[in-house]
Amino acid sequence: MHRFLIIVEKAGDNYSAYSPDLPGCIATGATRKEVEERMHEAIDLHLKGLLEDGIPIPKPHTYASYIAVQE
């Protein structure tokens, strides 16, 4: 099993998502849930494509954290 960080952004009336560890792997959706489901599918297809092309699956190297600042 592989775990990849995804970034979800509000984009006007919908949502978009991407994974910093998988350049070019993106998805959009009307809701956050929908974009996460579509991103799961996109990552699955992306990894299958890499394997079919003989390219190893990259090891995840990104992480996310929040920084609190005073206003």
Please say if the pLDDT value at position 71 is more than 90. Answer: no
Examine the pLDDT at 13 and tell me if it is beyond 90: yes
State the pairing for strand pair 14-18/7-11. Answer: antiparallel
Residue 26 in tokens: 């993106």
Q: In this predicted model, which residue has the larger pLDDT, 71 or 36?
A: 36
At residue 28 the predicted structure's pLDDT band, cuts being 50, 70 and 90, is very high
Mean pLDDT computed over 21-49: 97
Q: What are the structure tokens assigned to 64, written together?
A: 């996310």
- pLDDT for 1 equals 84
Structural domain boundaries in the chain: 7-52
pLDDT of residue 4: 96
